Chain A
Amino acid sequence: GDSVTQMEGPVTLSEEAFLTINCTYTATGYPSLFWYVQYPGEGLQLLLKATKADDKGSNKGFEATYRKETTSFHLEKGSVQVSDSAVYFCALSGGGSGGSNYKLTFGKGTLLTVNP
């Protein structure tokens, strides 16, 4: 079945540091890929997405590129802020043949803490 593996946390960075959170996936077919973020005390919210190979999703300074050859969708940000402290989840949908494109499969999440 479909699965998502993401970098174990927690990750602790200083403000303005470069961030990478690795995410790889296993799926048949052509899944769509997502990063969701959960800020403290809030529900999960979509951060960015990519629906086909070589697409780059971007939002709030974060970027991720859909790499089919390496089955990866790594999240990057050039300069993190304290307000980026949150749990980040990589997810996919629609990976299986004839599979449901409405159902998301999530990774375990990576806790990011950014210190001033």
Chain B
Amino acid sequence: DTGVSQDPRHKITKRGQNVTFRCDPISEHNRLYWYRQTLGQGPEFLTYFQNEAQLEKSRLLSDRFSAERPKGSFSTLEIQRTEQGDSAMYLCASNPQSRTGELFFGEGSRLTVL
């Protein structure tokens, strides 16, 4: 049973650089989510895909953030012109439509912006 995998696990970058994270969901899951978690806080919803369609974006997702899920399989989250406030753990999760609320999370991609 392959779980949700994320890459890279840790990214250190300088302010102003662009970064991209990849998420490979569980293969039969048609729903995919991105969350952001900062130290001492719970995960916060960023965006949601059903198959290849991005159905909701949080107000937290500024214009510098973009997410895609081409062909309804893997997803990428790109952050342009990174800022120190972007430093966080970016979590990807997936689930089948039949299991609403029951998310399967990856281990996360930690971003450190210097």
Interface residue ranges, A against B (CB under 8 Å):
4, 32, 34, 41-46, 49, 89, 91, 93-94, 100-109
A100: nearest chain-B partner, CB-CB: B56
Which B residues between 26 and 67 are near A, CB-CB below 8 angstroms?
A: 31, 33, 40-45, 48, 56
B48 and A43: CB pair below 8 A?
no
B25 within 8 A of A: no
Quote the shortest CB–CB distance from B93 to chain A (angstroms).
8
Give chain B residues whose Cβ lies under 8 Å from the Cβ of A43: 3-4, 91, 105-108
Question: Interface centre among A100, A102, A107, A109, by most B CB within 10 Å?
Answer: A102
Give chain B residues whose Cβ lies under 8 Å from the Cβ of A105: 45
A101 to B45, CA, bound (A): 13
Quote the shortest CB–CB distance from B3 to chain A (angstroms).
8
A4 to B45, CA, bound (A): 14
Which B residues between 68 and 102 are near A, CB-CB below 8 angstroms?
A: 91, 93, 100-102
B107 and A102: CB pair below 8 A?
no
Quote the shortest CB–CB distance from B12 to chain A (angstroms).
19
Contact A107-B48, Cβ < 8 Å, known A32-B101, A42-B107, A43-B108: no
Contact A46-B56, Cβ < 8 Å, known A102-B31, A102-B48, A108-B42: no
A32 and B42: CB pair below 8 A?
no
Contact A104-B43, Cβ < 8 Å, known A32-B101, A44-B105: yes
A101 to B43, CA, bound (A): 16
Give chain A residues whose Cβ lies under 8 Å from the Cβ of B42: 4, 89, 91, 106-109
A45: nearest chain-B partner, CB-CB: B105
Give chain A residues whose Cβ lies under 8 Å from the Cβ of B40: 108-109
Contact A102-B100, Cβ < 8 Å, known A44-B43, A108-B41: yes
B106 and A104: CB pair below 8 A?
no
